[in-house]
């Protein structure tokens, strides 16, 4: 897919962050957009910006974890637009907690959105993408789908799962010679609301300070992330790494292999000590 003009694109999690930036960029390139978000007002605001670019755009309130709701969403998109050429499964949430402290319901909440939301969007729309004759799937993983980080076992689980699922789907499309490209996206730190909206962060430390710290170290804007994603789609890349930190994570895991876990543990211990000193972290993890 080299050109997005007049292509119908579904974007989940489009009310803010990367999803919103991708939608706005696609609007500037003439795509027809289905804007979905669990926050209906955020979806409406993004759709308003996109529509101002002179393109056809509809907004939908959608909980990606609810398969029946996702089925209804697909039906509504097809009724409104007649076809779908690309799906961008971007919706995601975060959870900060060690496995010993984590509530089952929080783990299940995160997996339902981050993993099953991607599966729902891929499997439900795949027949339509094949029918388009030139479809594309973009599933958003994370640098935490390349390397595991303490206090992020749930998030790591979901993003490694998205990576494995997406890489398998790409191979299946190629084996069957079906006209659908598949790209897995691994953003590093992107200045979005994901930490502010995360569960469990307050139990780890001062949430406002943690959010402020994340905003300082996040190296990439949503707009730059959107540019990288669409460039990857045009090149039908299997993997898109976003930001210098993503490149660093990828490099470390390739060079060091699984030993990165042994190297990271003492570094994390030092990080927690510094965090406690400055009131960012309440306890050892």
- Write out pLDDT tens, residues 180-191: 999 999 998 875
Whether the Cβ atoms of residue 117 and residue 89 lie closer than 8 Å to each other = yes
- Round to whole Å and give the CA distance between 147 and 159: 10
Q: Where are the alpha helices (DSSP H) in the chain?
A: 17-28, 40-51, 67-81, 104-111, 117-132, 153-175, 201-204, 207-217, 222-234, 244-256, 260-277
pLDDT at 208 > cutoff 80: no
Q: Taking residues 182-206, report their average pLDDT.
A: 68
Whether the Cβ atoms of residue 188 and residue 221 lie closer than 8 Å to each other = no
Q: If 0-12 CB within 10 Å is exposed, 13-18 middle and 19+ buried, where does residue 221 land?
A: middle
pLDDT at 111 > cutoff 80: yes
pLDDT of residue 2: 87
pLDDT at 255 > cutoff 70: yes
Higher-pLDDT residue of 226 and 277 is 226
Taken in order 223, 231, 188, 74, the sign of the CA dihedral is positive
pLDDT at 225 > cutoff 50: yes
Whether the Cβ atoms of residue 12 and residue 90 lie closer than 8 Å to each other = yes
pLDDT at 259 > cutoff 70: yes
pLDDT at 35 > cutoff 50: yes
pLDDT at 86 > cutoff 80: yes
Instruction: Using the structure block, give the residue that is written with the tokens 């211990």.
Output: 269
Report helix, strand or coil for 217.
helix
Structure tokens, 17: 């962050």
Whether the Cβ atoms of residue 55 and residue 31 lie closer than 8 Å to each other = yes
The closest of 105, 116, 284, 100 to 199, measured between CA atoms, is 105
pTM of the model: 0.87
Higher-pLDDT residue of 209 and 65 is 65
The closest of 215, 241, 217 to 144, measured between CA atoms, is 241
pLDDT of residue 66: 98
Q: What are the φ/ψ torsions at residue 13 (nearest 5 degrees)?
A: 60, 35
pLDDT of residue 218: 58
- Round to whole Å and give the CA distance between 244 and 219: 8
Structure tokens, 125: 């729309």
Q: Taking residues 117-142, report their average pLDDT.
A: 98
Please state, rounded to an integer, the average pLDDT across all residues of the chain: 89
Other C-beta atoms lying within 10 Å of the C-beta of residue 89: 26
Kindly indicate the confidence band of residue 271, based on its pLDDT and cuts at 50, 70 and 90: low
Kindly indicate the confidence band of residue 220, based on its pLDDT and cuts at 50, 70 and 90: confident
Determine which one of 60, 155, 260, 272 is catalytic.
Answer: 155
pLDDT of residue 285: 44
Whether the Cβ atoms of residue 228 and residue 260 lie closer than 8 Å to each other = no
Kindly indicate the confidence band of residue 214, based on its pLDDT and cuts at 50, 70 and 90: very low
Active site residue 278: no
- Round to whole Å and give the CA distance between 235 and 130: 18
pLDDT at 121 > cutoff 60: yes
Angle, CA of 156, 161 and 164, to the nearest 5°: 125
């Amino acid at each position: 897919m080299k050109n997005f003009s007049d292509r119908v694109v579904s974007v989940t999690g489009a009310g803010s962050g990367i999803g919103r930036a991708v939608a706005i960029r696609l609007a500037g390139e003439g795509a027809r957009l289905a804007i979905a978000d669990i926050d209906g007002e955020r979806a409406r605001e993004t759709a308003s910006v996109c529509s101002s670019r002179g393109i056809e755009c509809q907004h939908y309130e959608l909980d990606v974890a609810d398969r029946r709701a996702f089925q209804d969403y697909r039906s509504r998109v097809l009724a409104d637009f007649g076809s779908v050429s690309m799906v961008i499964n971007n919706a995601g949430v975060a959870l900060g907690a060690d496995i010993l402290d984590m509530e089952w319901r929080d783990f299940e909440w995160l997996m339902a959105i981050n993993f099953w939301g991607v599966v729902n969007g891929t499997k439900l729309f795949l027949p339509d993408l094949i029918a388009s004759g030139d479809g594309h799937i973009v599933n958003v993983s994370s640098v935490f789908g390349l390397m595991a980080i303490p206090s992020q076992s749930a998030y790591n689980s979901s993003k490694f799962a998205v990576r494995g699922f997406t890489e398998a789907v790409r191979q299946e499309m190629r084996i069957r010679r079906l006209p659908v490209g598949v790209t897995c996206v691994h953003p590093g730190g992107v200045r979005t609301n994901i930490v502010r909206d995360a569960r469990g962060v307050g139990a780890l430390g001062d949430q406002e300070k943690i959010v402020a710290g994340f905003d300082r170290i996040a190296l990439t804007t949503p707009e730059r992330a959107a540019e990288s994603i669409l460039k990857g789609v045009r090149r039908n890349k299997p993997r898109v790494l976003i930001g210098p930190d993503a490149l660093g994570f990828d490099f470390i895991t390739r060079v060091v292999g699984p030993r990165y876990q042994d190297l990271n543990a003492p570094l994390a211990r030092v990080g927690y000590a510094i965090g406690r000193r400055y009131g960012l972290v309440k306890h050892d993890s």
